[in-house]
Structure 1
């Protein structure tokens, strides 16, 4: 090969390598050009769409920026009972707001406020990513303070209104606003406009209402609180939710320190300031506002949660479910001593009244001695439930999933949780084997814990409670069900009354709601009525109700409603031994007490206790623990006056069966089961017992083969019958024989009676065993009258009368004397034979009896022995009394 050829190959390889190296670069350029082209197209298209949306944006006026629209709240009859908004506001100038306030607001709401032009590109990009990843749903995160001001002024805040069009218009108006106003003016308008919970608007107003000071005097912790409240004012109110408010306030303080607005020392000092430091009472002179305050709080929360509308500024018409008369009654009962004797002014109470078949909340009581608005609403705060949770956590699920009867047997005995913690009953006693009804009615902790931890699956309990609107978290402080949730948990009075309403309503549950409809300023109607769901079977609802009716009956002297059918459950929380020791409280001190009860119309739950355990305690053994029951009666009696109160009807899925008490599993009573040992309980259809108990013996039948024969020659009556055999060979049988009214108790199946009385004799025979007597067999026999021989008269010739010899009686006299003696002996023999069924006594005995004229001692002995064999009539009563004891 020539040199030229070699060079050509080298050149070829070089040229080939160059072409290969240039190939990837061309593809990269094409990708970049494509991306840029697509980006430009998107920008152009987006710009065009933005321009289109912006062209239809509403006009933003000074009145919009400054003013607000009030909302009206209507009661269940359509009457306005509360007006919210547009009345409690103070306007502050820019120079009145301290730097600490504006720094706190920008730190938590808009950190680039001083740099952007009304919209924040970084925030918009973050929102756009969220829009894509959430399948076209606007998730927020891109709004600046300027945009929020626009939104509060001219747009609604509902989720349904979070559209691209609305966002585009909001951004466009924000850009326009930034051109017309300075940053200082925008911030001042915003701080004057934002809602600060309840009927308080603007930070300047909040400073006066919350701290009694001018806005210019706000400290770091106070400014941080107000900045944190801007996101959700009612949720982060220091009066209503102090714990959440502190958590949110501390978050703001942390961000302020990170942004360099405050030093670490200032932040630490602010952290350590209690959330209630410096707070003053939110007073209100209008008593109507105080009466309805707890209810109004729930209305505002509900509207914001379900619609994202701000009732304080949106000019809404809100149709609520409040019963003004019932609400007034709740307020009066809680805030006076006219109805209930409260132990002191410190003890608190909370009430929730729900319509059983609709879930409509008719009244709420958030506390006693209410003198402030937007204070703590205990009716919606979770509390330790005590035993009121038992029907929800244990007995309801046991019937629903395991189809246990109200008779189901459980052993009440010493018991420990799986972790070894021992569990006691309230009385420190154990009752042994008892029914599920007894366990619930007497609120026994051990049987309840056994059902919960040994019989039920936790997923069953969780499903049952979730269907009743009870979230497992925070119901269980552990975030999941734990063994102790059998007898206690965390629920609010509102949740409790709504859950119990499902028992009253045949198992149907409706989420409790205070608002039926919201009408916006432009006429849009938003229906907030929740759906009703079948949370449990009708048999579960009825059987739980039937057991809880016994609870209400036991406390009829306190909760009685004059015969109105009702059901209910008590509950008491407990201190630990360590807490009792630390607080110096007596052993019978308890933190709180509950009563949850219902009729066919209303479900009412009542909690009483202290906001702080150090403020006081209730006493288990005195009337203080009974406060919830007294409150319940006063309210339930009132609301039940003008409605029809019906009893619950047993559904076809439930069967009422009488069983023998103590049998396990349940058995039908045997033929000899005493009435005192029979109980009537409820069973799910198809699970009724079919086996009959023989604990008190088998059914005794009529004796067979009863015959009676009279032997005239020997003057003997013989009665015989078939031998009776019991299934239980260890049990003995006796026979009860009656002949012409004369009774005997025998062990043999035959009796021979010598010299029976003459006539038609009725004979009855029955069998006795197991302390019971069976039916009688009867027969009759005829014993003829004895025939007496007449003496023959002899014809004699008349003889001359002579003087009779006194020492020699005549033949006729001797004959009569002999006959009389024989008759006497015969009667004596018959009496003895009739009593004993034995041969006649010897002549010696006969002579003794005849001469003495006494009754036969052997006959007395025999009769006494027979009486001893019989069971006295009062022996069963004695036994039953011992069983009951």
Structure 2
């Protein structure tokens, strides 16, 4: 090979090497440019749909949950998250310094994102070295838990880029102190407390500007893991975290060595408190709505807040209900009394009015209470007999069956119930026994069909409380709430169509999306023909001259059919009227709020006629004013019952239900009933003379038409009141009918 050839080959190799290196570098450069452009396009797409972060309101963890009445009026706005915002100067300096030292020690140096902090956190993750803190700044954390709360659990590059971008933009808009203030008002401190003020009250029952170093360091440590560092349930974990906060503050020079040593040696001085924001014109109802939200939605959903809750409350009816109850209670002259009222629209189950008391608040000395009497349970007395009546007819017992209703009756060796004031009502039909509310008659009915049938019927009509098995439960010994009774009576009023009571019709999230909407779901649970007969019987309670609610006729101004049942528990402690028209079912309870003592109205023993019935009538007059008359449901067939002669009652001769037997008179107190027989050959029936004293002296007293106590031994003689039991008004019945 010649020298020229060798030089040419060498030259070509040199150019080849040069060309190859340049090509590689060029390719890499081109790739980087391409990747940068592509990444830029991707990042740009990630930032296209950012939520609004320009308003300080966007950095609140929860917006108010707003509750509206049926007309769309806002009736309360509250935070289901326990939070109250405060200014920075209302927060302890220990909290501010401790938060920065622990969560973001370069907070005042970076622009929203801290590369040094990210590197420090990464090194700590890879090589260990203890708790180095996270890489997120206070600003980034604020963004994550507020405007990006819907994405906070997404561990993606997209979320981190969006978070960093908003954090940088925030730092251009707000000062460091403003950002720190928003952070301290928004962060979750566990136990439902959002923000430092709520946390201060929740754990130490003091304001945020009153926190000591010990208390402040405790709270600063909790947000890192609110459950793990919960001082109520994980005290030692919380204490260790507090000490770590103190060490960070010492390292930053914000506390002295002496402060550090002294505080580390102290216990955490927990002193639980409660912060509430809810204020409402109808606090008992809105409390009830709040409880429904807590039952039906997860805590995470509730904590997101910003809900719009639309309810069934009719403002005009609610105001009429509040006025009817408060006026009557005020006129009683008894500051221990309270009244509850629940009114349900029979056509859809909507709760249109709910009165839970007359003096909402926590000052018991001032007669205040937050207990909702509309959902509170008390003995129902004879108002429960309507449920027994439905059960009896369902089992085939006709309203025309004859029952002996003596003044008292020995049912078992230990149970001897009596009628109110020892009235001897004689032998009469079940319908008539209902009108006068005979305990001795109804306990025989319950015994004949079995209390299991009564309990089952209560559940069918909508009563969730388990009815006690003793026969005294047939006379109202089991405690039930006015809301439960309203649900059951509404099922009667609709001809056996059951609907759950409805308080919430629709719920929207903060963006207006419907997350819940009520759908009507009626169910025919009892034959309409049977319910038609039940309604006829309950109309007699009002229309019959000796009916226990006959006084209502003189108080009503509405042109509507009306039916219902009174109820009075032992010793006149609970007074009820459960009544309905075709449009509305309304239940009223009155009694002493804080005990089960006898009720007095203007110095005399209370009764249905002077407390619940007047409230019921005043409300219904207002609620149905101007409404066209409607009629109760009419079945397209008649109910079928067993022959009256097929029934056996423990205190009633079988002859009274034989064909041809007739009743000529009904006894009153102190008389013996008289009966005649036809020529059907039946044995004579002799009604026992009313005793002047109960046969079993150990039996507790019975008030009103009540059936005794829950132990099954109630229903004895009533106490003799020292004052007159009726007011002087001539239209009042001679006894406080139950």
Structures share fold, TM-score greater than 0.5: yes
Note the 1:305-316 alignment, pairs <5 A: 305-308=295-298, 314-316=305-307
Aligned to 2:635: 651
Aligned to 2:492: 503
1:612 aligns to 2:602 (yes or no): no
Note the 1:326-341 alignment, pairs <5 A: 326-336=317-327, 341=331
Does the 8 Å contact 1:493/1:605 carry over to 2?
yes
Structure 2 CA distance, aligned partners of 1:451 and 1:675?
A: 19
Does the 8 Å contact 1:211/1:280 carry over to 2?
no
Structure 1 CA distance, aligned partners of 2:578 and 2:572?
A: 18
1:520 aligns to 2:509 (yes or no): yes
Aligned to 1:70: 64
Residues 518-575 of structure 1 deviation map (CA, whole Å, 9 limit, x = unaligned) = 222334222123511112221332222222112223333346424531111111222x
The alpha-carbon deviation at position 695 of structure 1 amounts to 4.3
Structure 1 CA distance, aligned partners of 2:419 and 2:268?
A: 49
Task: Report SS of the residue matched to 1:612.
Answer: coil
1:382 aligns to 2:390 (yes or no): no
Does the 8 Å contact 1:599/1:645 carry over to 2?
no
1:426 aligns to 2:420 (yes or no): yes
The alpha-carbon deviation at position 653 of structure 1 amounts to 3.6
Structure 2 CA distance, aligned partners of 1:153 and 1:615?
A: 55
Aligned to 1:190: 187
Pick aligned residue for 2:460 from 459, 462, 467: 467
Task: Report SS of the residue matched to 2:331.
Answer: coil
Structure 1 CA distance, aligned partners of 2:631 and 2:156?
A: 58
Pick aligned residue for 1:345 from 326, 335, 339: 335
Structure 1 CA distance, aligned partners of 2:584 and 2:313?
A: 14
Aligned to 1:584: none
Note the 1:230-249 alignment, pairs <5 A: none
Task: Report SS of the residue matched to 2:284.
Answer: helix
Task: Report SS of the residue matched to 1:606.
Answer: strand
Structure 1 CA distance, aligned partners of 2:325 and 2:200?
A: 30
1:550 aligns to 2:537 (yes or no): no
The alpha-carbon deviation at position 315 of structure 1 amounts to 2.5
Residues 83-128 of structure 1 deviation map (CA, whole Å, 9 limit, x = unaligned) = 44599823376964999xx9xxxxxxxxxxxxxx9xxxxxxxxxxx
Pick aligned residue for 1:410 from 403, 424, 427: 403
Residues 411-451 of structure 1 deviation map (CA, whole Å, 9 limit, x = unaligned) = 44554566824433322355454432233222222333333
Does the 8 Å contact 1:319/1:518 carry over to 2?
yes
Residues 689-712 of structure 1 deviation map (CA, whole Å, 9 limit, x = unaligned) = xxxx994348xxxxxxxxxxxxxx
Does the 8 Å contact 2:324/2:619 carry over to 1?
yes
Does the 8 Å contact 1:65/1:150 carry over to 2?
no
Does the 8 Å contact 2:60/2:146 carry over to 1?
no
Structure 1 CA distance, aligned partners of 2:517 and 2:87?
A: 38
Residues 676-728 of structure 1 deviation map (CA, whole Å, 9 limit, x = unaligned) = 589xxxxxxxxxxxxxx994348xxxxxxxxxxxxxxxxxxxxxxxxxxxx99
Structure 2 CA distance, aligned partners of 1:211 and 1:618?
A: 43
1:398 aligns to 2:381 (yes or no): no
Does the 8 Å contact 2:205/2:271 carry over to 1?
no
Quickly say closer, same or farther: Cα 1:259–1:307, change in 2 above 3 A.
Answer: closer
Does the 8 Å contact 1:85/1:311 carry over to 2?
no
The alpha-carbon deviation at position 507 of structure 1 amounts to 0.5
* Greater RCO, 1 or 2 (C-alpha within 8 Å, sep 6+): 2
1:573 aligns to 2:566 (yes or no): no
Does the 8 Å contact 1:335/1:370 carry over to 2?
no
Task: Report SS of the residue matched to 1:613.
Answer: coil
Unaligned runs of 5+ in 2: 1-45, 99-120, 122-139, 168-175, 224-229, 243-266, 363-367, 646-651, 667-674, 683-738
Task: Report SS of the residue matched to 1:351.
Answer: strand
Structure 1 CA distance, aligned partners of 2:94 and 2:525?
A: 54
The alpha-carbon deviation at position 603 of structure 1 amounts to 0.6
Quickly say closer, same or farther: Cα 1:449–1:320, change in 2 above 3 A.
Answer: same
Does the 8 Å contact 1:91/1:192 carry over to 2?
no
Unaligned runs of 5+ in 1: 1-53, 103-116, 118-145, 157-164, 231-250, 575-588, 679-692, 699-726, 729-885
Structure 2 CA distance, aligned partners of 1:451 and 1:218?
A: 66
The alpha-carbon deviation at position 270 of structure 1 amounts to 7.8
Structure 2 CA distance, aligned partners of 1:56 and 1:364?
A: 48
The alpha-carbon deviation at position 641 of structure 1 amounts to 1.0
The alpha-carbon deviation at position 624 of structure 1 amounts to 5.7
Does the 8 Å contact 1:347/1:610 carry over to 2?
yes
Greater radius of gyration (CA): 1
Structure 1 CA distance, aligned partners of 2:47 and 2:235?
A: 39
Structure 1 CA distance, aligned partners of 2:146 and 2:401?
A: 60
Does the 8 Å contact 2:204/2:271 carry over to 1?
no
Does the 8 Å contact 1:66/1:193 carry over to 2?
no
Structure 1 CA distance, aligned partners of 2:604 and 2:621?
A: 26
Does the 8 Å contact 1:595/1:632 carry over to 2?
yes
Aligned to 1:879: none
Pick aligned residue for 1:440 from 434, 443, 465: 434
Structure 2 CA distance, aligned partners of 1:281 and 1:166?
A: 27
Does the 8 Å contact 2:200/2:211 carry over to 1?
yes
Structure 1 CA distance, aligned partners of 2:145 and 2:457?
A: 42
Quickly say closer, same or farther: Cα 1:429–1:621, change in 2 above 3 A.
Answer: farther
Number of residue-to-residue matches in the alignment: 513
Quickly say closer, same or farther: Cα 1:520–1:281, change in 2 above 3 A.
Answer: closer
Task: Report SS of the residue matched to 1:594.
Answer: strand
The alpha-carbon deviation at position 488 of structure 1 amounts to 2.4
